[in-house]
Amino acid sequence: MTDITNKINIQRLLRSINYNETNKVNITYNQILCEQLHKQNIELQNKSLSYCPPYHDGATCWPPILAGTTVHMPCPSSYEGQMYNPYENATKECLEHGNWSSKSDYIPCLLTGDSSTLDLTMILRCIFLTGYSLSCGCLCLALIIFYIFKSLKCMRNTIHSHLFVALMIKACAWSISYIFVEFADIKQFKDDTKLTIS
């Protein structure tokens, strides 16, 4: 019965914790909340058994458990802006002397996609960039035609040339931001193959 109550309390705590990387005070608050939640569980203290106290590593609230055991907790859905699989479990080991191991194992939490999905994503990104580049090139060609042929000078074409310049600026700005944001995320995902929290 106690295990069911603890599981319900832990799940309630996990739902209440807001992982927000911009709010660094939140982690301290979550640590206090984690400890307060598990202070109600004094069975281990009363039995004078060796156990690991409740611990919050920044991503997960680890409950108190008996020494020499391993606890499995649901993965956070996101941590420090990175998305993780909440349907998997992270693990942390409580050592024989009642101390937590230095690292939590979040490797099962990593979102893994099959290579065909990742390849399709890269193809779509290349199509986006190619489309915007072609659009920008065609607009540039239209501007050159408007300025070379003086017979095309009229108010309507002047307005259209201003529109073309605006669309070119938009396409260039989108392409540059897309390259920096999207491809930086791909590089970061490749670099962050492991989530370990000390």
Q: Which of 146, 150, 149, 172 is nearest to 159 (CA)?
A: 146
- Which residues face 91 on adjacent strands? 72, 105
Residue 110, phi then psi, degrees to nearest 5: -65, 135
Q: Which of 97, 43, 88 is nearest to 69 (CA)?
A: 97
- Residue extents of the structural domains in the chain: 2-109, 115-197
Q: Match domain 2-109 to its CATH number in 4.10.1240.10, 1.10.3720.10, 3.40.190.10, 1.20.140.10.
A: 4.10.1240.10
pLDDT truncated to tens, each residue of the chain (198 aa)?
Answer: 444 444 444 444 444 444 334 434 444 566 677 767 666 555 556 666 787 888 888 788 888 888 888 888 888 877 776 777 888 888 999 998 888 888 888 888 887 655 445 567 778 878 888 998 899 999 999 999 999 998 988 999 999 999 999 999 998 888 888 878 766 655 554 554 444 444
Tokens coding 156: 């309507």
Residue 88 DSSP code? S
Scanning the chain, the segments in alpha helix (DSSP H) are: 2-16, 25-39, 43-46, 115-148, 155-191
